[in-house]
Chains A and B, each alone.
Chain A
Amino acid sequence: MADKQELREVEVWDGNMAASQAMRQVQIDVVAAYPITPSTPIVENYGNFLANGYVDGEFIMVESEHAAMSGCIGASAAGGRVATATSSQGFALMVETLYQASGMRLPIILNVVNRALAAPLNVNGDHSDMYLGRDSGWIQFDAYNPQNAYDLNFIAFRVAEDHEIRLPAMVHQDGFLTSHTAQGVKTLDDDTAYSFVGDFKPMNDMLDLDHPVTHGVQTEEDWHFEHKARQHHDLMTKVFPRIEAAFDAFEKLTGRRYNIVETYNTEGADAVVVCMGTSVETAVEVSNELRGEGKKVGVIGIRVLRPWPHAQIAEALKGIKAIGALDRSSPNGTFGMLYNELAGTVVNGGENKVLTNYVYGLGGRDLTKVHLREIYAELLANAEAGKPTTPLQQLIGVRGPQISFH
């Protein structure tokens, strides 16, 4: 039986430690992991907990991230609670197996510490890896700070392992900005944390020898579409009610409220930015300042990227005249993902909204308050004009002449 840790009510943790503490507290059966910056400390801390008797499960050291997720898939199909962590190139190497995990309906939790994708090689935070996973059939939660990274792990386990859901989930946090920035994190004691998630309940597990099953079967044109349709249907209809229920239960337990779409200063706002990760907190600070100056600006933070919260965002954007979609990933030949998703969400809403796209912060480039003030000024001009007053897509914070398109 694993030893318990006595935590202070508030611990000073970075995002990585917050995630590894949550992983310790839910008592995972198998972690198969391969370290990569900036997520390395998650599995390093976890290995430390295990070596010191705070975890009963198995830690499998593997030769690559592809093998790490493959090991997780095997362990999950066998019937255990399973999680791991990765970033960037490691995430990219996992991609093939991510689709296996979700198609096999295995509730694995993957902590993704967001980092840029090479080339050029870069260890700092942007959202390229998070974007790479968005069609993989996983649920994607986004943390804005270490407290979120801690809390969302419990939410993720609870939702993913629900027998009505049985889908893997990623908990994203920004590389370095969250993962290596120590902040005060309000903790749960070990028993409370564990019971929020509960005992793992296996489903169709391979170690149930009285009910042998074959996992990972092949289906061609005869049955493949039905499996994919079922998975898509469950993502579209079943996941949000369970996330809402988990957020409600978590609020009741801790007083901390999470929403599928987070809104700040959106009441009566003319212009909002929509963004993810640590940028949400910077944008909230700027919008508070601008509200003090009488400017009606707000922030919408995406808490759940997949499934895409179409209805919740449409509701949050009601009456708002100008939207800036802030994408921290190079779209490489099109608009940013948030721009495209938001366009799809608002186009049938019957309101005339001006939607523009800002690509920012690649490879860990800072998004400053000055940038956000400039963005808000442009968005307010768009709201006033009722049409774009700037190019539809602009890259901000890049050296040299301004780059913009359309």
Chain B
Amino acid sequence: MQNNGWDNFEIGAMLRSFDGAVSDIATTLQEDRPYSKSNSFTASVADWRIEKPIFNKDYCIDCQFCWIYCPDISIISRDKKMVGVDYDHCKGCGICVEVCPTNPKSLLMFAEQEDEDKALAGWPEKEKKEN
């Protein structure tokens, strides 16, 4: 697409989502979809982010709240098991952290430059109920 002149792209301010025909796309996993180059899935918006969510699987109960609430389909879940965060499309809004119900939370926001191993090593302890 980058090399196209005015005379060799399709008319109509129109972009194709996929290369060629697709069928049953709703049940096809993202990694198996034939996304076209012009599909926004192929673009990274990682640099929009100031803070990023880091996932700690030790506390996750696979409730899928983060997957449901994520506005950018950036929580990767397979067979109802939380896998991780799609850092190409996550914009760092923090909603996944907000809705995480575990104690301590299984997702927490860190500075974009934070090292993941360091973040996991310093994960907070379970909070005691105050009576």
Given contacts A210-B23, A212-B25, A229-B6, is CB(A234)–CB(B18) below 8 Å? no
Chain A residues with CB below 8 A from B7, complex form: 230, 233
**Contact between B6 and A212 (Cβ–Cβ < 8 Å)?**
no
The stretch from B8-16, B65-73, B83-91, B97-105 touching chain A is: B8-16
Chain A residues with CB below 8 A from B50, complex form: none
Q: Give the nearest-CB partner of A229 in chain B.
A: B6
Given contacts A210-B22, A212-B18, is CB(A166)–CB(B6) below 8 Å? no
**Does A402 lie at the interface of the complex (its beta carbon under 8 Å from any beta carbon of B)?**
no
Q: How far is the CA of A142 from the CA of B130 in the complex (A)?
A: 81
Q: How far is the CA of A162 from the CA of B118 in the complex (A)?
A: 62
**Contact between B11 and A234 (Cβ–Cβ < 8 Å)?**
yes
**CB < 8 Å A-B pair total:** 59
**Contact between B12 and A106 (Cβ–Cβ < 8 Å)?**
yes
Q: How far is the CA of A212 from the CA of B17 in the complex (A)?
A: 6
**Does B122 lie at the interface of the complex (its beta carbon under 8 Å from any beta carbon of A)?**
no
Q: Of A103, A213, A217, A226, which is within 8 A of B4 by CB?
A: A226
**Contact between B14 and A217 (Cβ–Cβ < 8 Å)?**
yes
Q: Give the nearest-CB partner of B20 in chain A.
A: A211
Q: Of A166, A213, A229, which is within 8 A of B16 by CB?
A: A213
Q: How many residues of B contact A (CB 8 A)?
A: 18
Within residues 211 to 235 of chain A, which ones have a CB less than 8 A from any CB in chain B? 211-217, 219, 225-227, 229-231, 233-234
**Contact between A104 and B12 (Cβ–Cβ < 8 Å)?**
yes
Main secondary structure of the interface of B (DSSP, over half): loop
Q: How far is the CA of A106 from the CA of B12 in the complex (A)?
A: 8
Q: Of A105, A166, A210, A213, which is within 8 A of B15 by CB?
A: A213
Chain B residues with CB below 8 A from A204, complex form: 10, 12, 14
**Contact between B11 and A214 (Cβ–Cβ < 8 Å)?**
no
Given contacts A210-B23, A212-B22, A226-B5, is CB(A219)–CB(B11) below 8 Å? no
**Contact between B11 and A230 (Cβ–Cβ < 8 Å)?**
yes
Chain A residues with CB below 8 A from B10, complex form: 204
Q: Give the nearest-CB partner of B16 in chain A.
A: A213
Quick one: CB contact mask for B104-130 with A, threshold 8 Å, 1 for yes?
Answer: 000000000000000000000000000
Chain B residues with CB below 8 A from A230, complex form: 6-7, 9, 11
B1 to chain A, nearest CB (A): 9
Q: Give the nearest-CB partner of A163 in chain B.
A: B11
Chain B residues with CB below 8 A from A166, complex form: 11-12
**Contact between A227 and B21 (Cβ–Cβ < 8 Å)?**
no
**Contact between B15 and A214 (Cβ–Cβ < 8 Å)?**
yes
Q: Of B13, B21, B22, which is within 8 A of A217 by CB?
A: B13
Q: How far is the CA of A106 from the CA of B14 in the complex (A)?
A: 11
B97 to chain A, nearest CB (A): 31
Chain B residues with CB below 8 A from A105, complex form: 11-14
Within residues 10 to 42 of chain B, which ones have a CB less than 8 A from any CB in chain A? 10-18, 21-23, 25
Chain B residues with CB below 8 A from A227, complex form: 6, 13
B109 to chain A, nearest CB (A): 30
A210 to chain B, nearest CB (A): 5
Q: Give the nearest-CB partner of B12 in chain A.
A: A105
Chain B residues with CB below 8 A from A231, complex form: 11
Q: How far is the CA of A333 from the CA of B12 in the complex (A)?
A: 35
Q: How far is the CA of A230 from the CA of B14 in the complex (A)?
A: 13
B73 to chain A, nearest CB (A): 16
Which 5 residue pairs are nearest across A and B when measured between Cβ atoms? A105-B12, A226-B6, A212-B17, A229-B6, A210-B21
Chain A residues within 8 Å of B, Cβ to Cβ = 103-106, 166, 204, 210-217, 219, 225-227, 229-231, 233-234
22 contacts between A and B (CB under 8 A): A104-B12, A104-B13, A105-B12, A105-B14, A106-B12, A210-B22, A210-B23, A211-B16, A211-B18, A212-B16, A213-B14, A213-B16, A214-B15, A215-B14, A216-B13, A217-B13, A217-B15, A225-B6, A227-B6, A229-B6, A231-B11, A233-B6
Q: A105-B14, A166-B12, A234-B11 are in contact. List 13 more A-B contacts (CB 8 A).
A: A204-B14, A211-B21, A213-B15, A214-B15, A215-B13, A215-B14, A217-B14, A219-B13, A226-B5, A227-B6, A229-B6, A230-B11, A233-B7
